[in-house]
Structure 1
């Protein structure tokens, strides 16, 4: 088959360590162009992957004949660039959070539908082995009725990951829109929706900027969430877990407790009420730390969705629902009340 002609817009860390190498490993893909405002960054990526370098995404979209585009830009550019790429006739894989408002997210979905193109949001937590296994066990009724959960995603902050370090757009509210909530919290909102198989209807949140200096975005956030069936739990997102990353989720059910990514040796441990304990050795979770898992499966899934003409697991609608949990948390903080999410 003819290879998919792909461009990556934005050559920061997520493109450098995830999108570009994973596209390069996919036999169905040819990376034809890369784009970054920093010319040297674009040229470095172009040289590595034998692609053409651009510093203007509009020029790239007008010039190149493409099949698909990855949008790896600061959050405030996700919607406009994704919409431009969709309107230029390309399938789009956009990093999370998909947009900075419900309106932007809806416009992205509308552009995908109008142009009959795939829109996928890069929520990689759904592809982690322990998370998929937990979803299967819950669906099979292994845990019985689910009562509660707690989930956390935290590390020392994006300055250790971003190519711009402490000067990263992550700390600039105009570009990032939100901090740890958008960087990490939206991942866990998406994951919980996926594992529990239901939507959240209420959110209450506390948000602080307490660990980072010279920034106006949140670096610590804690949500209390309630699902349609009455499952309640907490979600923590933080850039202040300074000693070690935490990416764990614990689900409390009638017959069992599921511990996901909570143990150094076993990615899933199921503790049954009758005393039985089952430990699963599954593939490790993706991490930004040294030696972290490099394959997110996001790229392969996106390419497969295009090649086989099927809907991606995290399409625009799914991305929007996960974003709405975060937007609801912001409303909760501003109103100092529990926010009712749209059903």
Structure 2
């Protein structure tokens, strides 16, 4: 079978540390085109991966011999670039959050349906071994009825990760639209939906912009979420933590699951009868690992194309996770409990 040809739009940190190396490591694909409005960055990645460099994504879509496109650009460009790529007959892997509004997310989903091509959103938390094991235990009934949860995703901020440092688009509302909630919170809304196996219906949130100078987006948020069956819990997303915290705790009637909350064990199960089971399943990927651990996002996306299956985080899934974040922003602005859109 001939290899699937890939084009990557955006040559910043997420493509350098995640998309490009993971495509390069996959023997089912080859990187043939890269694009960035900063010519030097496009040229650098093109040379590294033996690809053609572009500074205009529309030119890349029209001219390059590609079947797959990764969209690794600022948030406000996710929808228009993904739609253009889908309309050009390409499969699309889009970074999160998939869009900056439900309307744009729906337009992406429609474009995927009309083109008959795959659309996947790069939510990587579902593929973390501890998270997959926790879902398995919940589905088997070992945890019993789930009553509550708390999850956090925080680190010192994108200036330590972004290729542009403190000048990054992450801090500009017109380009990012959402700050820590879009960068980190949306990962956790997706994870919780996956673990609990149900949707969130109501959100109450405090979303603040107090930790970063010269920033026009949120950087510190705490939300209370309620699921359709009445599970309530908290989600925190922050760019103000001194060290990364990517932990989740699920409280069930038979057991408490502690995910990524222990320095050695990626999953700790504390049963009601006093028994504790520790799992060493490998570390969760983080900004601090320099891209050493695979996210399995690329692998999963490529497999869905090769085997013609629905990507696990398709457009509909991405939109449901986005809608929880949009409801949190609305709640913070209105000081009301907000219903999550369906």
TM-score normalised to the size of structure 1? 0.99
Indicate conservation of the 8 Å contact 2:143/2:256, yes or no.
Answer: yes
Indicate conservation of the 8 Å contact 1:156/1:241, yes or no.
Answer: yes
What's the counterpart of residue 255 of structure 2? 256
What's the counterpart of residue 221 of structure 1? 221
Query: 2:287 aligns to what SS in structure 1?
Result: coil
Counterpart CA distance in 2 for 1:303 and 1:142 is 33
What's the counterpart of residue 315 of structure 1? 314
Counterpart CA distance in 2 for 1:20 and 1:290 is 16
1:290: how far off?
A: 3.8
1:291: how far off?
A: 5.6
What's the counterpart of residue 305 of structure 1? 304
Indicate conservation of the 8 Å contact 1:285/1:293, yes or no.
Answer: no
RMSD of aligned residue pairs (Cα, Å): 0.8
Indicate conservation of the 8 Å contact 1:142/1:255, yes or no.
Answer: yes
Counterpart CA distance in 2 for 1:90 and 1:63 is 13
5 Å-filtered alignment, 1:1-343, equals 1-242=1-242, 244-290=243-289, 293-343=292-342
Counterpart CA distance in 2 for 1:155 and 1:64 is 38
CA gap 1:50/1:282 in 2 versus in 1, 3 angstroms: same
Indicate conservation of the 8 Å contact 2:17/2:290, yes or no.
Answer: no
Counterpart CA distance in 1 for 2:311 and 2:118 is 7
Show structure 1 runs of 4+ deviating over 3 A.
Answer: 290-293
Indicate conservation of the 8 Å contact 2:153/2:185, yes or no.
Answer: yes
1:201-234 deviation line (CA, Å, top 9, x unaligned): 0001101111100111011011100001110000
1:145: how far off?
A: 0.4
Indicate conservation of the 8 Å contact 2:17/2:291, yes or no.
Answer: no
Query: 1:289 aligns to what SS in structure 2?
Result: helix
Counterpart CA distance in 1 for 2:289 and 2:29 is 27
Query: 2:204 aligns to what SS in structure 1?
Result: strand
Q: Unpaired runs of 5+ in structure 1?
A: none
Q: Unpaired runs of 5+ in structure 2?
A: none
1:331: how far off?
A: 1.2
Indicate conservation of the 8 Å contact 2:123/2:187, yes or no.
Answer: yes
Counterpart CA distance in 1 for 2:205 and 2:293 is 32
Counterpart CA distance in 2 for 1:34 and 1:101 is 27
Counterpart CA distance in 2 for 1:288 and 1:34 is 22
CA gap 1:231/1:293 in 2 versus in 1, 3 angstroms: farther
1:248-281 deviation line (CA, Å, top 9, x unaligned): 0000000100000000000000000100000001
Query: 2:288 aligns to what SS in structure 1?
Result: coil
Indicate conservation of the 8 Å contact 2:32/2:65, yes or no.
Answer: no
Indicate conservation of the 8 Å contact 1:69/1:90, yes or no.
Answer: yes
1:88-144 deviation line (CA, Å, top 9, x unaligned): 000000000000000000000000000000000000000000000000000111111
Counterpart CA distance in 1 for 2:52 and 2:341 is 44
1:292: how far off?
A: 5.9
Counterpart CA distance in 2 for 1:97 and 1:82 is 12
Indicate conservation of the 8 Å contact 1:284/1:293, yes or no.
Answer: no
Counterpart CA distance in 2 for 1:16 and 1:316 is 24
Indicate conservation of the 8 Å contact 1:209/1:219, yes or no.
Answer: yes
Indicate conservation of the 8 Å contact 2:71/2:92, yes or no.
Answer: yes
1:341: how far off?
A: 1.4
Counterpart CA distance in 2 for 1:223 and 1:67 is 39
